[in-house]
Amino acid sequence: MPPTLFLAGAGAMAVLHMTAPGAQLINAPWRALGFVLIAAGAAMYLLALMAFREHSTVTHPFGLPRTMVATSVFRWSRNPMYLGMLLVLLGFGVLLGSVVPFVVVLVFAWLVTSFFILREEEMMREHFGDSYLRYQRRVRRWI
């Protein structure tokens, strides 16, 4: 599940930073910008969760949605929950400052896209048809 993948990614970033950090990419005080990314990612995730709850639809990746949510942060991203998790990981990477943990951010984005987003989009197209296709043309996958 994506939250488990997110937590595993954060753990992998910490381990990589401690064991094989590579070059120091970001130095203080710039690393503090990681807090901004973490806050933005957490806000994005929570706003998406609230929009799902407001529309009484499922948050489980492969659950059958009751309605298509295209309001709130879903106006800018078709996947704001995943984007939120990605921003938090990116922020954590900025806080750590070394180059190697950023590989985890890229791997997380690839895994989420390959194993969750593409399948969810197929399910949404099947369930909502032309409405989802119009939404898909109007709103980008990530940002």
- The position carrying tokens 């706003």 is 47
119 Cβ contact list (under 8 Å, min separation 6): 61, 62
pLDDT tens per residue, range 109-137: 999 999 999 999 999 999 999 999 999 99
Residue 103 lies in a domain: yes
Residue 38: which domain range?
Answer: 2-138
**Cα 8 to Cα 105: distance, rounded to the nearest angstrom:** 11
pLDDT tens per residue, range 38-66: 999 999 999 999 999 999 998 888 888 88
Mean pLDDT computed over 7-13: 97
Residue 52 lies in a domain: yes
The whole-number pLDDT of residue 63 equals 87
Residue 132 lies in a domain: yes
Residue 108 lies in a domain: yes
Question: Is residue 107 classed exposed, middle or buried when 0-12, 13-18 and 19+ CB atoms within 10 A define those classes?
Answer: middle
Q: What is the tally of structural domains in the chain? A: 1
Residue 6 lies in a domain: yes
Residue 119 lies in a domain: yes
Residue 143 lies in a domain: no
CB environment 8-24: b (16+ within 10 A), e (fewer): ebbebbeebbeeeeeee
* Mean pLDDT, the chain, integer: 95
The structure's pTM equals: 0.94
Residue 58 lies in a domain: yes
The whole-number pLDDT of residue 61 equals 86
